[in-house]
């Protein structure tokens, strides 16, 4: 007697919801990222116009000059949705907290040369205000942007920038026995020290930039794309070369986060530019217009941090950034 | 038929980038999908490339992560940081 085991394969008639199948094709499986982002943006049947902007709808694609057939195409290559993003950031925070405990517990910053401590006080700590500006700007994009891929990603980016601001604050505090007066001193530099004024002017103007995609280019590409390499790469190397390797430990998150975020920013720019020549020219125009301001803001700070070698350092950083733009299909 | 190698992975969302990468990098691959497992047969040689998986998954990927979703494989293995090769007679 033989027992014949047969398997009956029952295939699902549909792989997913219709709106996802429309974008992906009939037989492909969407990822959780697609499910969490595509088709989320309300587009029709708004009940009233905003009282604060009655010529537009509550959610309105015309709040930017960028035109997309489907704003859902501005996807994040990291495929972050709330679950994966919190898990990833949680891991990074655990690692960074251990670093802070290690450095604080053994007083590892105490042995740093006073001159370098002063550089960190004057050049790094006030950067918390730049990071806070970045937090505010990404909040704006999350609020006025269009399409869940960009508004979700910028909302997560907004929280990341707040995290950066908090870590910068803690570095400043660890340097000086957690004395909060040091933060007041950094605020005074931000408000009235000559080398900080061009940067402060830039950040304040960014906070009144109305086109949310222009702001994306200015904040997430130009400002972050120059400030982070300056502080957490070029300056970091100088500090390390002068006995301050612990500074690197305390800014581990910023270094990792910048590399990861750059991939997202570049992918968004690339996709928006690929949509049409008009989009591409808009983005190129914004880059051309804002880059001199960004360079001007960095120069006095870079000169201070790197003993007069500001110009060549900033030029190098901007060249690297323009190379990124080139890879995204932009002619800059 | 006797010269086929195979790899079987869990059929879950986390493993889809690896499955897609294998299908892209191995033109002779035949995919057998069941609710729990995806079995990929290939004549002679099958390669999993880190770079292709990284493109699909959108982040840095360590080839050793393959083992998290690996059900089984058939063939001799040759691996380095960039490629995980299953073939006969290595």
Instruction: Average the pLDDT over A279-299 and give the result.
Output: 98
Phi, psi of A30 (to 5 degrees): -75, 155
DSSP code per residue over A55-105: TS-SS-GGGSS---S-GGG---TT---HHHHHHHHHHHHHHHHHHHHHHHH
State whether ipTM is beyond 0.85. Answer: no
Distance between CA atoms of residues A263 and A281, nearest Å: 21
**CB count, 10 Å around CB of A67?**
14
Alpha-carbon Rg for chain B, nearest whole angstrom, is 12
**Residue A108 in this model has a pLDDT that exceeds 80:** yes
**Residue A188 in this model has a pLDDT that exceeds 70:** yes
Q: How far is residue A301 from each of residues A125, A186, A252, A304, B6, measured CA to CA in Å? A: 12, 14, 22, 5, 58
Pick from A27, A30, A34, A79 the residue to mutate for testing the B interface (most B CBs within 10 Å). Answer: A79
**Residue A4 in this model has a pLDDT that exceeds 80:** no
B58/A260 touch (CB, cutoff 8 Å), yes or no: no
pLDDT at residue A43, rounded to an integer: 94
pLDDT-derived band at A26 (thresholds 50, 70, 90) equals confident
- A29 contacts on B by Cβ (under 8 Å): 13, 16
Q: Which of A62, A63, A66, A65 is nearest to A74 (CA)?
A: A66
With CA atoms as reference, the chain B residue closest to A256 would be: B60
- A31 contacts on B by Cβ (under 8 Å): 13, 16
Alpha-carbon Rg for chain A, nearest whole angstrom, is 23
The angle subtended at Cα A137 by Cα A268 and Cα A230, nearest 5°, is 75
Residue A313: DSSP 8-state:
H
Contact at 8 Å (CB) between A181 and A187?
no
With CA atoms as reference, the chain A residue closest to B14 would be: A31
DSSP code per residue over A118-142: HHIIIIITTHHHHHHHHHHHHHHHH
Q: Which residues 6+ apart lie within 8 Å of B12 measured at CB?
A: B69
Distance between CA atoms of residues A295 and A317, nearest Å: 10
A137-151, A209-223, B56-70: which has the minimum mean pLDDT? B56-70
Distance between CA atoms of residues A302 and A229, nearest Å: 11
Residue A91 to chain B, least CA–CA distance (Å): 15
Burial A88-103 (b: 16+ CB within 10 A, else e): bbeebeeebeebbeeb
Residue A112 to chain B, least CA–CA distance (Å): 34
Convert the pLDDT of each residue in B13-40 to its tens digit: 889 999 999 999 999 999 998 888 999 9
A31/B13 touch (CB, cutoff 8 Å), yes or no: yes
- A76 contacts on B by Cβ (under 8 Å): 58
Q: B34 touching A, CB under 8 A?
A: yes
Q: Which residues 6+ apart lie within 8 Å of A31 measured at CB?
A: A79, B13, B16
Residue B63: DSSP 8-state:
G
First to last CA, chain A: 78
The angle subtended at Cα A281 by Cα B55 and Cα A227, nearest 5°, is 65
B59/A29 touch (CB, cutoff 8 Å), yes or no: no
**Residue A203 in this model has a pLDDT that exceeds 70:** yes
Q: What is the mean pLDDT of chain A?
A: 95
Residue in B16, B34, B58 closest to A78 by CB: B58
- B57 contacts on A by Cβ (under 8 Å): 79
Q: How far is residue A2 from each of residues A5, A249, B2, B32, measured CA to CA in Å? A: 10, 68, 26, 27
């Amino acid at each position: 007697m033989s027992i014949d085991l047969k398997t009956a394969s029952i295939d699902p008639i549909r792989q997913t919801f219709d709106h996802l199948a429309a974008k992906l094709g009939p037989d492909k499986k969407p990822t959780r990222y697609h499910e969490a982002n595509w088709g989320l943006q309300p587009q029709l049947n708004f009940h009233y116009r905003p009282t604060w902007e009655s010529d537009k709808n509550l959610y309105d694609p015309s709040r930017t000059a960028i035109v997309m057939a489907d704003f859902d195409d501005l996807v994040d290559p990291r495929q972050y949705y709330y679950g994966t993003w919190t898990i990833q950031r949680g891991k990074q925070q655990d690692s960074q907290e251990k670093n802070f405990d290690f450095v604080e517990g053994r007083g590892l910053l105490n042995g740093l040369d006073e001159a370098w401590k002063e550089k960190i006080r004057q050049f790094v700590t006030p950067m918390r205000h730049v990071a806070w500006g970045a937090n505010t700007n990404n909040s704006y994009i999350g609020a006025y942007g269009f399409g869940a891929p960009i508004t979700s990603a910028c909302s997560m980016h907004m929280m990341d920038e707040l995290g950066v601001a908090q870590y910068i604050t803690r570095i400043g505090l660890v340097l000086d026995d957690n004395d909060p007066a040091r933060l007041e001193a950094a605020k005074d530099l931000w408000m009235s020290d000559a080398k900080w004024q061009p940067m402060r002017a830039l950040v304040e103007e960014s906070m009144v930039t109305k086109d949310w995609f222009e702001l994306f280019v200015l904040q997430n590409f130009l400002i972050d794309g120059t400030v982070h390499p300056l502080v957490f790469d070029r300056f970091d190397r100088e500090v390390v070369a002068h006995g301050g390797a612990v500074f690197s430990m305390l800014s581990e998150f910023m270094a990792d986060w910048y590399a990861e975020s750059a991939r997202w920013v570049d992918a968004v720019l690339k996709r928006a530019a690929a949509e049409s020549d008009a989009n591409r020219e808009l983005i190129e125009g914004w880059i051309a217009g804002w880059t001199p301001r960004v360079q001007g803001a960095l120069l006095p700070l870079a000169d201070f941090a790197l003993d007069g070698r500001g110009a060549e350092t900033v030029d190098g950083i901007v060249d690297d950034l323009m190379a990124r733009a080139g890879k995204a299909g932009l002619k800059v | 038929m006797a010269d086929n190698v195979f790899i079987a992975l869990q059929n879950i969302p986390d493993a889809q980038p690896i499955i897609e990468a294998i299908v892209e990098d191995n033109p002779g691959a035949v995919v057998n999908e069941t609710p729990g497992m995806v079995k990929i047969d290939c004549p002679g040689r099958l390669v999993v490339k880190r770079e292709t998986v990284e493109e699909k998954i959108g982040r840095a990927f360590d080839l050793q992560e393959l083992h998290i979703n690996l059900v089984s494989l058939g063939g001799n293995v040759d691996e380095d940081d960039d490629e995980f090769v299953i073939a006969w007679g290595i």
